[in-house]
Amino acid sequence: MFARYRSLLSNIMAALNYNHLRYFWAVAHDGNLTRTAERLNLTQSALSVQIRKLEERLGHPLFERRGRQLHLTEAGRIALDHADAIFAAGDELLGTLRQTGAARQALRVGSLATLSRNFQMEFLRPVLGRTDIDLILRSGSTAELMSALEALNLDVVLINQTPAGDALTPFVAHRLAERAVSLVGTPDRFRDTGSLAERLRTHPVILPTVESSVRTGFDALADRLGVRPQIVAEVEDMAMMRLLAREDIGLAVLPPIVVKDEIAGGVLVEGEPLPGIAETFYAVTMARRFPNPLVRALLHPEAA
């Protein structure tokens, strides 16, 4: 559907009044009609008329008003991406930009700040190094990322729990992978043999915080084993768990993908997989009329 829309938009662009497009482009980047009108030495009503003519030509509203603020609609976001590319190409023609290759398309990816960096790299690998893509990466809390996704400021969000949604916020959670969780530590901590329960009694552990599904699963496992492990650290960030495991303050409870380089180098060792405990990774999108086609290449790399 998006390819058809892009084709339609390209045909429309051939007959566009580019003054209308530039006025829209200026307002979209300023985010304020009054300020843009003053900067362009126009009346606010005249600027509104120019944008309305562009909306009529495209057949879609480009802005929606929420209180005193203007927000891009989905069609507005797509039109802005095209406008950015068009005016960048014009600047290139004038020699003010130095770019090679075809016009670049934006891909905006948000990731939970505490998510495994190795997993993020695996997800992004299909588009890494492509010269036709502007890859924009942002991180934050789940609430911040979902708000940005809903506002169409992100195309896809990587998290490790399914998001809350309703009919007004039609999030689509794509289950990407489920990774087993193991005990991970320095080689010295695995020289002794024994049962999982004995290892948890003997060695302190580095755990995710209580909000994590992995922590919930570990607490239930410890209860089943009749073990009260010594918790040496409770950590939200997987990267910090990795560093603490390297410092040998205890055994870390995490997916081995987080420390795959350390395991490959022999710095850390993957011990027992913890039965019944796994971390699930999700890519969340919005149910959009005009989805970014690059997201499909990430969600279905085998079909790209």
Q: Helices 74-93 and 18-30 sit at what angle, rounded to 10 degrees?
A: 110
Fold of 1-102: Arc Repressor Mutant, subunit A (1.10.10)
Taking CA 59 as the corner, what is the angle to CA 55 and CA 62, rounded to the nearest 5 degrees?
Answer: 40
Q: How many CA atoms lie within 13 A of 132 on its CB side?
A: 5
Which helix (H) or strand (E) is 12 found in, with range? helix 2-14
Superfamily of domain 177-280: Periplasmic binding protein-like II (3.40.190.10)
**Contact (CB, 8 A) for 187 and 161:** no
Number of other residues whose CB lies within 10 A of the CB of residue 203: 18
Burial class (CB within 10 angstroms; exposed 0-12, middle 13-18, buried 19+) of 57: middle
pLDDT tens for the 304 residues of the chain, in order: 444 445 544 554 455 677 888 888 888 888 888 888 888 888 888 888 888 988 888 889 998 887 777 888 988 888 888 888 777 766 655 553 444 444 568 899 999 888 888 889 999 999 888 888 889 999 988 889 998 888 888 999 999 888 876 666 788 999 998 889 999 999 999 988 888 999 999 999 999 998 888 999 999 999 999 999 999 999 988 889 999 999 999 999 999 988 999 999 999 999 888 999 998 899 999 887 778 888 988 988 776 5
CA distance 89 to 103: 8
Domains of the chain, residue spans: 1-102, 177-280
CA 55 to each of CA 17, 239, 292: distance values in angstroms, whole numbers, following the listed order: 12, 46, 21
Identify the residue whose tokens are 């708000």: 147
pLDDT at 202: 92
Asked, colleague to colleague, whether 1-102 and 177-280 share their fold, the answer is no
Q: Distance between CA 37 and CA 31 in Å, rounded?
A: 11
Contact assessment for residue 253 and residue 214, using Cβ atoms and an 8 Å cutoff = yes
Which candidate, 299, 297, 296, 289, places its Cα nearest to that of 5?
289
In angstroms, the Cα distances linking 74 to 2, 139, 190, 219 are 12, 22, 54, 43
H or E element that contains 161:
none
pTM across the whole model: 0.64
Nearest-CA neighbor of 107 among 301, 296, 304? Answer: 296
